[in-house]
A = this chain, B = another copy of it.
Amino acid sequence: MVARVPKFSRIQPEMRREELVDATLRCLAQHGHAGVSVRKIAAAAGVSIGLINHYYPSVDQLISHAYEKLSGGIAAHLMEVSAGGATPRESLSLFIRESFGPGIFDPPMLGVWVVFWSMVRHSADMQAVQQRTYAQYRQVLERYLGDLAGDSGLPPVNIQAAATALNALLDGLWLTWCLNPKDFSVEEGIAMCEGWVDAFAAGAFAARLNIPGR
């Protein structure tokens, strides 16, 4: 008497998509650009090669969905955490500290983003995801920085430019650190960002980031 053992299991399409996207992210983190491979992703997800094209017309669309999930997930997480701050200044500190947390500050993650960035220029889908998620990020920072400037009674400042700069500082530190984690410690990175916010709150950028903007 032999027990029936199914060769595979059918699961709900949405769950399967989720699994495929997760496998994609794992693949990119491990293999970098070489992870953009139907066969590698299929192996990582434990499914057959053909299943991927059943759910995604092309591998590019799978990557695009993975981009959306990762980027959206991080943005949502940062928003949720920073919302716990009692003041704008405190929210910014939470946002900064969480940006340096595990799952974000992680060298293999560079391999993932590098793939995404390399596709932005040639894919309209990727470009759309990039612009949408970046705007989301920046708006959060704009709100906190705007409130902080209001609380501090600062002269009018180009908040959008300030948010762009803080975001760039975060991104640049992340990039530098992922390329060589020995360059500086996470705590030092946080201190650099906190210093920037302190300077902002003290009105140090008012002279350069005056309002006209665009």
Q: Which residues of A contact B (CB under 8 A)?
A: 32-33, 107-108, 110-111, 114-115, 117-122, 127, 130-131, 134, 158, 161, 164-165, 167-173, 175-176, 179-180, 183-185, 188, 191-192, 194-196, 198-199, 202, 204-205, 207-209, 213-214
Please give me the residue from chain B that is nearest to A157 by CB atom. Answer: B195
Per assembly, the copies of the chain total 2
Q: Complex: how many Å from CA A130 to CA B178?
A: 12
The A interface is mostly helix, strand or loop, or mixed, namely helix
B33 touches A134 (CB 8 A): no
Q: Complex: how many Å from CA A208 to CA B191?
A: 6
A94 to chain B, nearest CB (A): 17
Interchain residue pairs with CB less than 8 A apart (29): A108-B121, A111-B121, A114-B117, A114-B118, A115-B118, A118-B118, A120-B179, A130-B179, A134-B179, A134-B180, A161-B191, A164-B176, A164-B183, A164-B188, A165-B195, A165-B196, A167-B172, A168-B168, A168-B173, A169-B172, A171-B172, A171-B175, A188-B214, A191-B208, A195-B207, A195-B209, A196-B205, A198-B205, A204-B204
